[in-house]
Homo-oligomer: A and B are copies of this chain.
């Protein structure tokens, strides 16, 4: 006489791989990265502990799939940020930097795994491939902010400075020392983006503020 019983779970899940990746994110969010285990993830997904291995082979495979999924979302977030702004190249570039930091904050579980190849031995190349797209997006947009004949290595050097600053800020926020220092995240984000853009504007080849 109780309502239709939701617990009559069907034998087949529907999309267990996706549910397992969600469970990885949930586990990291709740209990931290070190709490991720095939068993914990299976438990959270409400499935037998042997099921994850069935789909991902082993723990490294699971984390590699999770990181890959993260990089795809990351690339999409950067692309959206670029496309979502209709302004100067610099405004688009800044939007991408902001999206980078927002991604790290809103998707800590992904971010915590994506840049840690040692978590997924044997899958590094595959994951790296998924990630390399993101970096080229940043380099590409930066190039659009410079004179057309800017030498490649100059662009790359500036891109490294930018990447390091943005990534460093993201890491410091995610790992915790920043919040421990009583610094508001927003202030710090603005400080870093201002820092980067001021540097870029000081570059002789800068054209980022010209109308498109």
Contacts and interface: CB of A to CB of B under 8 A. Distances in A.
A117 B158 CA distance: 31
A202 B192 contact: no
A25 B193 CA distance: 35
B194 A157 contact: yes
Given A115-B177, A124-B180, A202-B198, A167 B172 contact: yes
Contacts of A161: 165, 191-192, 194-196
Nearest to A156: B191
B168 A163 contact: yes
A169 B160 CA distance: 8
Nearest to A193: B161
A131 B177 contact: yes
Given A158-B195, A198-B199, A180 B32 contact: no
Copies in the complex: 2
Contacts of A196: 161, 199
Interface in A186-212: 188, 191-192, 194-196, 198-199, 201-203
A72 interface: no
A198 B195 CA distance: 10
A164 interface: yes
Contact of A192 (B164, B169, B172, B203): B164
A115 B175 contact: yes
A10 interface: no
A132 B181 CA distance: 8
Contacts of A172: 115, 163-164, 167
Interface of A: 32, 34, 115-118, 124, 128, 131-132, 135, 156-158, 160-172, 175-177, 180-181, 183, 188, 191-192, 194-196, 198-199, 201-203
6 contacts: A118-B175, A135-B181, A160-B195, A164-B166, A165-B168, A201-B202
Q: Which 6 interchain pairs have the tightest Cβ spacing? A: A168-B168, A161-B195, A199-B199, A164-B168, A165-B165, A202-B202
